[in-house]
Structure 1
Amino acid sequence: MKREQLTIFDSEAVRENLSYPDCIRVVRDAMMALSAGTTRQLLRTMISLGSGRTFAQMPGALGERDMFGTKAISVFADPHSPGLRRHRGLVVLFEPDQGRPVAIADAEEITHIRTAAATAVATDALARPDAKTLLIVGTGGQAHTHLKALPLIRDFKRVLIWGRSFDKAQALATDYPHLAAEAVADLPLAAAQADVICTLTTSATPVLLGEWLSRGTHVNLVGSSGPGRVEVDSALVAAGRYIADSRASALDAAAEFLVARDAGLIDGDHIVAEIGDVLNGTVPGRCSDEEITIYKSLGHAVQDLAAAAHLYRSSRR
């Protein structure tokens, strides 16, 4: 009997075939399905391999009769630049009829694109319709992908970029002349001017403080994906309408939420909804133009699998 070969998507194939509009669409559908209970996933498991070295697995299924699989990924700090971390691994996709593995995709590239796509989905649902100023906090790979995804859901008139290195922020801004992006040195001032803020850092301590924000700001917390590292202070968490990509995951691994809870500033009910609940219309997202909204992104297997399934099905067509 003839055996079908695995379809392989290396990093270049992922970049060429997983467009941001398509990824935004499939991630939106995946998050709606996750909150509706029609997809299944387990909390990620992480094995420490020493300081700055982690191996993680994220299994899930897109539905009872749909694709399923896992993401296996290493997260290693760069020995020459300890603040930088690489996410290297594979997304392995199985078909639902016979349980055959059908595709393997580069996990690092999928993670870069689907994370920004998920932020775009949340921003579209939670930011004010008239949001005009975007602030990117961080200058790494996720800054690039977010600068590609966020303008697809809002017509930003100003794009501000802040990094610990002003030179890196300036270099990043020059890569996006069509957005008229500009590097900024004064983060408090930029935060006060922004309508949408994305924190995309590896910082272990807060880089963004709640007292800097103006009313009506929407904040995407993306950089920290596990307990320990926090990008914003507890005052910001407590002040915002807090919406997670997954309630269970936030209670397990959302560092900023856990720190604020352990300090007694909030409790579990501070998570008002999952983003899928907002998209499904079961819980309102933004309740007023004055409200600060927060989206906590931890990343999920169903996002990776939805992206990989789209790649596979598109290649079959």
Structure 2
Amino acid sequence: MTVLVLDAAQVHQLLTPEAALHAMREALAALAHDEVHQPLRMIVRPPAAAGLMGVMPSYRSGHEAAYGLKAVCVFPDNPTIGKDAHQGAVLLFSAATGELQALMNASAITEVRTAAVSAIATDLLARPDAGDLAVIGTGVQGRAHLRAMAGVRTLRRVRVVGRDPARTEAFAAEAAALLSLSVQACSSVAEAVDGADLIVTATTSAEPVLRRNWISPGAHINAVGSSVPTAREIDTATMAEASLFVDRRESTLNESGDYLFAAREGAIGPDQIRAELGAVLIGAAPGRTDDNEITLFKSLGLAVEDLVAADHLYREAQRHGTGTWVSF
């Protein structure tokens, strides 16, 4: 038996933003059509450790049947030393024999697929004329979301903000080169989101970074940074007033700090969730209903997204002769 190994550079080569959009639409539709078996992720959080480990298994049935498993460590302080907060691997297994088929860099897959799902949410939920973008967070996901947002909306203005002013300035310069337009580095979140109709929160903060009174009518928010019950980026007032869309309802009710903090404060309940994104994608649920409502997509990241991305990468690596094949 041989196993494919793909490093980060090879993942980026094969999982282009366009390919990721197609794969994530496929993953979300499969979930909406009940073709996915996906337990809640298991979190290993040792009391004195610097980070945590998440274990995310999934199975997809049908013609593209496969098993997948992502094991990822999340170290929130990694960006301060120039590393992605997410470190780990995605494993792909044959649905026919259970044999291991591939081992792939999880940081790169997470980076690309997360931004692609936000792009799908933006395409489905943001106003068609939205183009004033604010990105909160200057790490890997902030960078990936700049490109993803530009792929689904024509950007007129871009503002970015992070914890470190020097890093924010450098990030703005990098973004300007990437997007071929002017990008403003802001000194506060309030300044960055003033008048914005597209907002991305991609931070490692445990406390809210976005406040309701800063958000303009009709804005669409992609809340990406928090994926654990103990951290949130969005304040309670925003969670209560926004039209809330999620990648998966069960995951949100059990794993989303943005949701759970607001629920414990009595501001929202399960009925606040308008729909899963896959249901909107396949036409089973409505999206935005008017130009003035604030729509919010709470992204947790799903194991099926990693599985479908890995399956795509496996087939593309075979087709292009990319990667390292090792005996196992």
Aligned positions of 1:1-317 closer than 5 A: 3=1, 5-49=2-46, 50-65=48-63, 66-78=65-77, 81=80, 86-177=85-176, 178-317=180-319
Letter in 1 for 2:107: E
For 1:298 and 1:307, the matched residues in 2 are separated by: 16
The runs of 4+ residues in structure 1 deviating greater than 4 Å are 79-85
Bigger CA drift: 47-56 or 148-157?
47-56
Percent of counterpart pairs with the same letter?
39
Summarize the Cα distance change of 1:84–1:167 in structure 2 as closer, same or farther, 3 Å threshold: same
Bigger CA drift: 64-73 or 210-219?
64-73
Letter in 2 for 1:152: G
Write out per-residue CA displacement over residues 130-163 of structure 1, whole angstroms, 9 at most, x where no aligned residue: 0011100011111111112111111111111011
- Residues 127, 196 of structure 1: 8 Å contact kept: yes
For 2:275 and 2:81, the matched residues in 1 are separated by: 35
Report the alpha carbon displacement of residue 256 of structure 1 after superposing the two structures with TM: 1.4
Give SS of 2:130's match: coil
Report the alpha carbon displacement of residue 53 of structure 1 after superposing the two structures with TM: 2.0
Summarize the Cα distance change of 1:77–1:157 in structure 2 as closer, same or farther, 3 Å threshold: closer
Give SS of 2:96's match: coil
Number of residue pairs matched by the alignment: 314
Q: Which consecutive unaligned segments of at least 5 residues does structure 1 have?
A: none
Write out per-residue CA displacement over residues 95-124 of structure 1, whole angstroms, 9 at most, x where no aligned residue: 222222111101111111111111111111
Letter in 2 for 1:57: V
- Residues 79, 85 of structure 2: 8 Å contact kept: no
Report the alpha carbon displacement of residue 84 of structure 1 after superposing the two structures with TM: 7.9
Report the alpha carbon displacement of residue 207 of structure 1 after superposing the two structures with TM: 1.1
- Residues 78, 84 of structure 2: 8 Å contact kept: no
- Residues 3, 103 of structure 2: 8 Å contact kept: yes
Report the alpha carbon displacement of residue 7 of structure 1 after superposing the two structures with TM: 0.9
TM-score (norm 2): 0.91
Summarize the Cα distance change of 1:36–1:147 in structure 2 as closer, same or farther, 3 Å threshold: same
Summarize the Cα distance change of 1:194–1:80 in structure 2 as closer, same or farther, 3 Å threshold: closer
Summarize the Cα distance change of 1:277–1:168 in structure 2 as closer, same or farther, 3 Å threshold: same
- Residues 77, 83 of structure 1: 8 Å contact kept: no
Q: Which consecutive unaligned segments of at least 5 residues does structure 2 have?
A: 320-328
Instruction: Note the aligned Cα RMSD (angstroms).
Output: 1.8
For 2:281 and 2:198, the matched residues in 1 are separated by: 19
Letter in 2 for 1:56: G
Report the alpha carbon displacement of residue 217 of structure 1 after superposing the two structures with TM: 0.3
Write out per-residue CA displacement over residues 16-52 of structure 1, whole angstroms, 9 at most, x where no aligned residue: 1110110011011101211221112111001113343
For 2:247 and 2:170, the matched residues in 1 are separated by: 31
